[in-house]
Amino acid sequence: MNSIRRYGKYKVERGVLDEQRLEELTQRKSYSEAHPSLTERLKNSLRCTVPKLKRSVVSSLPILYWLPKYSVWDYGMPDLISGISVGIMHLPQGMAYALLASLPPVFGLYTSLYPALIYFFFGTSRHISIGTFAVLSIMVGSVTERLVPDDAFLKNNLTAEVDITARDSYRVQVAAATTVLAGLIQMILGLVKFGFVGTYLSEPLVRAYTTAAAAHAVVAQLKYIFGVSPTRFSGPLSLVYTLKDVCFLLPKTHLPTLVVSAVSIVFLIAAKELNSFLSPKLPVPIPVELITIVAGTLISNFAHLNSNYTVPVVGEIPSGLSPPGVPDVSIFGEVISDAFALAIVGYAISISLGKTFALKHGYKVDSNQELVALGLSNVVGGFFQCYAVCSSMSRSLIQETTGGKTQMAGVASAIIVLVTILKLGSLFQELPKAVLAAIVFVNLKGMFKQYADIVTLWRSSKIDLVVWLVTWVSTLLFNLDMGLAAAISFALLTVIIRTQLPTYSVLGNVPGTELYVDIETHREARQVPGVTIFRSSATVYFANADLYLEALKEKSGLDISKMIIYKRRQEAKQKRREKRAERRAKRQAKRERRAQRAAAQLSGPPVFSVEEEAGDWMDTCMDRNVTDKEEQGWTERENGTVFVIPTTPRTPDGHSRWEYLKGGDPESTSIGWMSELQDGDTTTLGSSSEDTLSHDLERVSLGSLGKWTWDIHSIILDLSTANFIDTVAIKTMKNIFQDFSEIDVDIYMTGCQVSVVEQLELGNFFSESITKRNLFASVHDAVLYCLDHRGASSFPRYEPSMVRMMLRPSRGAPNFSDLSQTGRPAVSTEYLNI
């Protein structure tokens, strides 16, 4: 049975609120009260109180917050089981991902130990597992192989034998220095509260980046899977060159290594699928990778794969922990760009996973503290020969699904890794590298599933799809560091483009409500007569201010520049009319005086005045010349179908209000053929055509010129979407107010947030002509004010008998019956031959 949803009703009765009345009603604080000065903010930040000190210490060392509340009975056993499960995964992943970083496998175990212990003290997420990760391992590997190539450590140029011990030792130094620098960058960003930097890495960007990084990882493991030694390339298109070289070396594939790789991949895929099928019935997932490593080590040891079939193995794994060492600071200058990329990517992956689990389990993750925690983990880890770390998706999911509750699970997993390093490391010396490569290859299956994002984004957002594709292509072609920079730049560019090309709309009222929606997308929306409500979907700022003005002109149908020019022409014509009327009055007065003198001199001889006759003759010539010029203009322009009459008398400052009447070809774009209504040169229409003319002469917006619209007396700018306004936008708004006031159109702004109003005040936007009375709390407030202020009184209705117009017949005379497009009944008007 379908449930019927009931909607409540509400009724509010209040006065129309502009910004000035709203501030008086709400007692808005002044700018100085709402925004303390820099000195006051410094004083408050440096003022030390006990509660503030406690909050600072707890926020900097989160373990002090949750450890005192830790319940061994409630959380102890779940954390222990979860930690053991994650620790078992750390062993194969640590050694396998070390190969991606081009480092000995034991350093992958170190990376799984020290950073996890540091994060235990400073991290805020309870479920992420800090340690090695494929993407960061690839990024570190690109640095180590670029700065420490095999060619620099040849024992003998004739045999091309590489000094592996010296090479690996220096690669460890490069990786450690890069990790320390990345950690310092993360700590600095966290201390300056720059945790929001991760928000610039959108989800499509991160997923495309990790997908492309997975492709890099696969190509990097091909040499271990096929047992070949391709040439090491660096820089743009290095992936393409490496793949091409591997393809050329395929005939030289080492078959025993390929067999080990194929068997390992098949076993891992089958075991993982079985694990996924049985996971609902199993309390703990089967450690597939650990079983593969143990089995591969045992088979290699008893079959002597290295000595009999020359299958590459891990080799010597030193027991015990290596002492800390200071990284080589001289390397910082060469790896600063790589370190910054590592810092940003590692943080983005960790914070996205952390926020996902925090939202699911109802706690909060501090983004700035996460930066500090990751930075400390990398800095301390770098001193112990670790490379860059972040959270691992697979291990974090295991930690969460096996019941992990707190960061204690990370300590349990670190203990498992520690025991392996101290006692069990030497047992994996005969482990084939092909098995580790197979583990990496299979674990990347989840990232390759992200190619399905292309279909999803195609259906949901084309722009996000373009970001995904550009990120993927740039990362594949330009390597991980330059690819990330190109991807972020392109993503920001799409944001800028979208703000420059927002959706501009004219709003209409939903009948019976105070709501206003786009009239182009809502059939029932009704435009308010005489009022245009204009809205942009983006903030108005320097990059789109001109576009905003152009869109306003287009949507309102008002071409301001042409309209102002036309108005000034009409004012000039009005002045000329007045001068002619004045001269005619003088001439008429002279005639009257002459008639009086003639009457007085009937009894005497006539008196002839040369001065008077000359003056009459000059006045007559001037009027005749003006009339000839106007007649010539009528002949050249032919069609005279728009008529202009002043609706108000001239004011002392010389201005008057004009009424624009339509009665002709709407496609005409000329503005010079407007008739001048002057006494003696017009014809009055008879009363028989009054009804017809009242429909035919319609008031239109000034200068619609090619696009005929209804009269507009007010324009409302809805700025509810704006969260800031800069000086360029403020200047544009001023120009809008000034230009539209020239054509007697009032401008109002609505929905301005407090921050926008404050920026308008600081930008000297308000003046005697533009006050806060022009700002309203809502669109409906502004509409009610416009209708009350200029709704009907601003457009007087003219009786047909009072309209006088001048028409000239021409070959292209317009047909008045074509005016049906205006929405009024079409009429026919007889052309008067004057």
- Which of the two residues, 34 and 81, has the higher pLDDT score? 81
Under 8 Å between Cβ of 560 and 553: yes
CA 244 to chain centre: 39
Segment 306-321 shows an average pLDDT of 85
Query: In this structure, what is the dihedral angle of CA atoms 454, 457, 458, 463, given to the nearest 10 degrees?
Result: -110
Identify the pLDDT of residue 288: 86
- In our burial notation (b when 16+ CB lie closer than 10 A, e otherwise), range 589-623 reads eeeeeeeeeeeeeeeeeeeeeeeeeeebeebeeee
**Of 788 and 795, the one with more pLDDT:** 788
The band of 331, judged by pLDDT with boundaries at 50, 70 and 90, is very high
- Rounded CA separation 676/646 (Å): 11
Place of tokens 């929905």: 751
Residue 827 CA to residue 800 CA, distance in Å, equals: 14
Average pLDDT score over residue span 718-723: 92
pTM: 0.69
Q: How far apart are CA 22 and CA 728, in angstroms?
A: 27
Q: Which has more confidence, 764 or 810?
A: 764
DSSP 549-565: HHHHHHHHT--HHHHHH
Strand ranges for 703-773 from DSSP E? 714-718, 746-750
Residue 696 neighbours by CB distance under 10 Å: 23
Average pLDDT, the chain: 79
pLDDT, tens only, 482-526: 888 899 899 999 988 888 888 999 999 999 888 999 999 999 999
Q: What is the rounded distance in angstroms from the CA atom of residue 222 to the CA atom of residue 254?
A: 12
Question: Given a cut of 90, is residue 213 above it in pLDDT?
Answer: no
Least confident range from 299-303, 360-364, 665-669: namely 665-669
Q: How confident is the model at residue 621 (pLDDT cuts 50, 70, 90)?
A: low
Dist CA 491 CA 169 (whole Å): 39
Which of the four pLDDT bands, split at 50, 70 and 90, describes residue 834? very low
Please name which of 718, 716, 684, 715 lies closest in space to residue 701, comparing C-alpha atoms: 715
Predicted pLDDT at 588: 86
Amino acid 809: pLDDT? 36
Higher pLDDT, 649 or 739: 739
Checking if the pLDDT of 137 tops 60, the result is yes
pLDDT at 412 (0 to 100): 93
Lowest average pLDDT, out of 134-143, 172-181, 287-296, 599-608, goes to: 599-608
DSSP letters for 13-68:
-----BHHHHHHHHTPPPHHHHS--HHHHHHHHH---HHHHHHHHHHHSTHHHHST
* Minimum mean pLDDT range among 301-310, 510-519, 557-566, 739-748: 557-566
Of 176-180, 523-527, 722-726, 793-797, the poorest mean pLDDT is in 793-797
pLDDT tens for residues 218-234? 888 898 899 998 887 77
* Residue 13 confidence class, pLDDT cut points 50, 70, 90: confident
CA gap 605, 596 in Å, rounded: 14
Across the range 253-281, mean pLDDT stands at 90
Q: Is the pLDDT of residue 607 over 60?
A: no
pLDDT for residue 613: 54
Residue 655, classed as helix, strand or coil, is coil
Tell me the pLDDT tens digit for each residue of 391-429. 987 888 888 888 888 999 999 999 999 998 988 878 888
For the ranges 352-366, 584-598, 721-735, the one whose mean pLDDT is highest? 721-735
Instruction: Quote the CA–CA distance of 634 and 813 in Å, as a whole number.
Output: 12
Phi, psi at residue 750, to the nearest 5°? -135, 160
